[in-house]
Amino acid sequence: MSDTTAAVLSRFSLAGRKALVTGASRGIGRALATGLASAGAAVAVSGRDEAALEGVIARIIGAGGRAVAVPFDVSSVEQIRAGVAQAAEKLGGLDILVNNAGMEQVCPSLDVDEDLWDRIQDTNLKGAFFCAQAAARIMSDTGGGAIINLCSLTSEVGVPTAAAYGASKSGLLGLTRTLATEWAGRGIRVNGIGPGYFRTDMTEVFFEDEAWARRMQASIPAGRFGEVDDLIGAAVFLASPAAAYVTGTLLYVDGGYMASI
């Protein structure tokens, strides 16, 4: 390997960085946590399923990485503040936050009640903001860091039966841009990742409709649905020094779907 190649690749390394990933017990969050660890970061995994978090930790440690569990509920501001502080204490700092925790419940808009609306907003939007706020207070005192928000196609595209979810993800994109401009002077970069159609526990309800799945797959230029590991490269890039001048952007990982509509 040439010195030039090594220098370029080193820009993508997360060695010595400390990361917190919310909603890391399964699906996309688990993939991102293991991916950041593979790139060299020490990772705190958060979620409400403590047994599942232990499984993620075992996977990371088994591959030679470092990981700790910090269970908390992102719909509780009190738990967020304690959990983020605990993650930083266990890791010896905090350089990266991945706001992945989220929920969705398919429901016709005329049937959405206040409880459903509040549960989705509290998790997807309010929780992401207060996690970012708690992390930024730490990062501001230690030279900065990177915050990555898991947005959605619904951040910019309307999807029937997803009014509450789409509102939360549109709000998350706006939040991403606002925090990026406000915190750039603190050395904190804030970006979003917009996954396309991925088959996860949360999205399984859509894939149960085989006719919908066939139509949707045909509309994706890449010709397939996403695999959770397809998101790792985007997260590593946005968290790394390679993205030192990238902030306030939304990176779609969607097989070309958004470009084609």
Q: What are phi and psi of 95, to 5 degrees?
A: -115, -20
Alpha helices in 93-154 (DSSP H): 114-121, 127-140
Task: Indicate which residues carry an active-site annotation.
Answer: 165
The torsion of the CA quartet 43, 251, 124, 197, rounded to 10 degrees, works out to: -100
Strand bridging mode 66-69 / 96-99: unpaired
Please report, for the chain, how many H helices and E strands are present, in that order: 11, 7
Q: From CA 184, how far away is CA 186, in angstroms rounded?
A: 5
Three-class SS state of 23: coil
Sheet containing strand 66-69, edge to edge, reads 66-69, 42-45, 18-21, 96-99, 145-150, 188-195, 250-253
- Give, to the nearest 10 degrees, the angle between helix 127-140 and helix 77-91: 40
Residue 259 Cα distances to 104, 217, 252, 254, 255, angstroms:
25, 15, 10, 9, 9
